[in-house]
Structure 1
Amino acid sequence: MRIDVATVRKLVPEQFPEWADLEIREVRSHGTVNAIFRIGDGLTARFPFLTSENPAPAEIQEIRQELRREVYAGKRLHGRTRFRTPVPVAFGEVSTGFPSPWTVQTWLEGTVATDEDPAGSHGFAADLVDLITAMRAVPTDGETFHGRGRGGVLSDHDQWVDLCLTNSERLLPVQKLRSLWKSMRELPRGSDPDVMTHRDLMPGNLLVAEGRLTGVLDVGGFGPADPALDLLSAWHLLDHGPREVLRTGLACDDGEWARGQAWAFEQSMGLVWHYRHTNPVMSGIGRRTLERILADPAV
């Protein structure tokens, strides 16, 4: 289920009458989780995509818990780096117009890296070094990675990667990619402790101006994970020269660098086939990332 601008124009005044006079506009994006609408010039409403018009109570509860985690993560990251991040503002509730909780946060003006490609910018790579370093400096408060997403053990994703490989037979060089995953899944984690990570440093989540990083979006996943996880940005966003700037700036050893590549591989394998028809931009991001990985001399 998706939501339209007419519905949002009813929901916002009902739940937040102080914004009743503000203009509501839909934001076109290549995101895959939320429908996004601007409220006036300074706010953004985010409505989760739902599996049906009548979601089960258990699904609503799961969404509510996830949104609460995202709000907590956004507050936890805000002000901890020199880059702009959205600030959580309000929590919308289930109503007759939309059967799920939703959130409001501040709007960040700018151009996403899918629209202004910073791949060749050494300055952008240096900005990524500053961003990742600052996020890693935030205390984990004793928390460690948990859940089913990226950031734990690579081999836990075997079933997913196998499905992706099967569904990519006519799209990608599957035999070569299958062999590559066989090596990647066995990369040792070693003794690297979990650190605070963004978890999804993809082009659509980074704002760019004149080849420099200006802001970071979709910060609701900020949390502890394998320190190599944010290195997937090296393969999603950078050409060879800037990629080396990132590696040198973060002082990555061979093991951490290889795991970062593996996390980028795992994510990209799902993007190419899954979004081939519904979201060609996301599919193209996955394809380009895999091309970069296959062109790496180490591979």
Structure 2
Amino acid sequence: MRPGEIVVAVEQVRALIDEQFPEWSDLPIVPQPLNGTDNALFRLGDSLTARLPRAQWAVDQVGTDAAWLPRLAPHLPVPVPAPVAVGRPGADYPWPWTVVPWLDGRNPQAGQDLVDLAIDLAGFVRAMIAIDPMGGPVKEGIQRGVPLVQREELTRRSIVALGDRIDRRAVTAAWDEAMAADEWPGPPVWLHGDLLEGNLLVDRGRLTGVIDFGGLGRGDPAVEVRPGWSLFDVRARAAYREALGFDDATWVRAGVRRAARRILMLRVPARWAAP
């Protein structure tokens, strides 16, 4: 348990469903493993999932998902968990919550042949980028997708603060290289922002769904390069890079964003240390 995190019980979910969505009262409720960091998931019958934030920091996603995923979903090549209902606090549960479709599939694993997945995922990213902005939220502050210049001061202070825990000369050189690279030349584009293997669903090597849009917003698409290092091997990474069609500067920014995130987490793992 982290500070500010709560436990959500099946009995609470049953009470919430009975009170707010009685049309689903007869459906069985099955808790799912706590694989993610923000939400408790409960399968509701065969085709639905109740999704309840476990901490205050995850509550904003309820509104973001409800506002934007139904509008983005028709333009995407695979299903996403667009909410079909939004619940309110009750049964000693303090926050809004959602009911979303249950999406079948398994998470991919490093070591498998993921070339087809890489091509499919690149298609998903390209589809996101092509969607009309629709006035969607733009990334602000120290978050994924913001221009690197917004991370300049904090990153350099963090490099100094970490001292001998990192190779400061090499890290500083990499950061300087990224700052010299061209920034994203166009307007902010739609981003998933967290394309980890746990947020991808596959069947027989093909992408069947993308979940957990907690990083949703608009910004620099370099952040979507992340699976090239976190998931794909050399062959799949090459296929991903070719299918994405991003220029070299975008890959440079992506690599340094990844390093900067690790630096900041080493220095102050804020989410884990404070509510």
TM-score by length of 2: 0.82
Specify whether residues 207 and 25 from structure 1 end up closer, same or farther in structure 2 by C-alpha distance, changes over 3 A only. Answer: same
Q: Judge which range, 180-189 or 87-96, deviates more.
A: 180-189
Task: Output the CA distance in 1 between the equivalents of 2:193 and 2:239.
Answer: 20
- The equivalent residue for 2:35 is 30
TM-superposed CA distance for 1:98, in Å, is 0.5
| Equivalent of residue 99 in structure 1, options 79, 86, 94 | 94
| Equivalent of residue 133 in structure 1, options 106, 126, 145 | 126
| Equivalent of residue 87 in structure 1, options 82, 85, 89 | 82
Contact 2:196–2:227 (CA under 8 A) maintained in structure 1: yes
| Secondary structure in structure 2 of the residue aligned to 1:215 | strand
- The equivalent residue for 2:115 is 122
Task: Output the CA distance in 2 between the equivalents of 1:30 and 1:165.
Answer: 34
| Secondary structure in structure 2 of the residue aligned to 1:85 | coil
TM-superposed CA distance for 1:234, in Å, is 1.5
Specify whether residues 240 and 75 from structure 1 end up closer, same or farther in structure 2 by C-alpha distance, changes over 3 A only. Answer: same
% same residue: 33
| Equivalent of residue 55 in structure 2, options 25, 42, 50 | 50
| Equivalent of residue 4 in structure 1, options 6, 9, 22 | 9
Task: Output the CA distance in 1 between the equivalents of 2:258 and 2:206.
Answer: 22
Task: Output the CA distance in 1 between the equivalents of 2:31 and 2:62.
Answer: 20
2:21 counterpart of 1:16: yes
Unaligned 5+ runs, structure 2: none
Task: Output the CA distance in 2 between the equivalents of 1:71 and 1:11.
Answer: 18
Which deviations, in whole Å up to 9, do the C-alpha atoms of 1:168-187 show, x marking residues without a partner? 976x7666445534543554
| Equivalent of residue 145 in structure 2, options 144, 151, 157 | 151
Which is bigger in relative contact order (C-alpha 8 A, separation at least 6)? 2
- The equivalent residue for 1:249 is 243
TM-superposed CA distance for 1:119, in Å, is 5.9
TM-superposed CA distance for 1:190, in Å, is 4.9
TM-score by length of 1: 0.76
Task: Output the CA distance in 1 between the equivalents of 2:259 and 2:268.
Answer: 14
Specify whether residues 12 and 246 from structure 1 end up closer, same or farther in structure 2 by C-alpha distance, changes over 3 A only. Answer: same
Task: Output the CA distance in 2 between the equivalents of 1:165 and 1:259.
Answer: 21
**In the alignment, residue 128 of structure 1 is paired with which amino acid?**
L
Aligned residue pairs total 263
Task: Output the CA distance in 2 between the equivalents of 1:18 and 1:163.
Answer: 52
Unaligned 5+ runs, structure 1: 52-58, 279-299
Give runs of aligned pairs for residues 176-255 of structure 1, distance below 5 A: 176-177=170-171, 179-219=173-213, 221-255=215-249
- The equivalent residue for 1:291 is none
Specify whether residues 211 and 168 from structure 1 end up closer, same or farther in structure 2 by C-alpha distance, changes over 3 A only. Answer: farther
Task: Output the CA distance in 2 between the equivalents of 1:167 and 1:82.
Answer: 42
Task: Output the CA distance in 2 between the equivalents of 1:270 and 1:41.
Answer: 41
Task: Output the CA distance in 2 between the equivalents of 1:260 and 1:117.
Answer: 20
Contact 2:184–2:250 (CA under 8 A) maintained in structure 1: no
Specify whether residues 273 and 236 from structure 1 end up closer, same or farther in structure 2 by C-alpha distance, changes over 3 A only. Answer: farther
Task: Output the CA distance in 1 between the equivalents of 2:20 and 2:70.
Answer: 22
TM-superposed CA distance for 1:41, in Å, is 1.5
Specify whether residues 233 and 161 from structure 1 end up closer, same or farther in structure 2 by C-alpha distance, changes over 3 A only. Answer: farther
Superposition RMSD on alpha carbons, in Å? 3.0
Give runs of aligned pairs for residues 257-272 of structure 1, distance below 5 A: 257-269=251-263
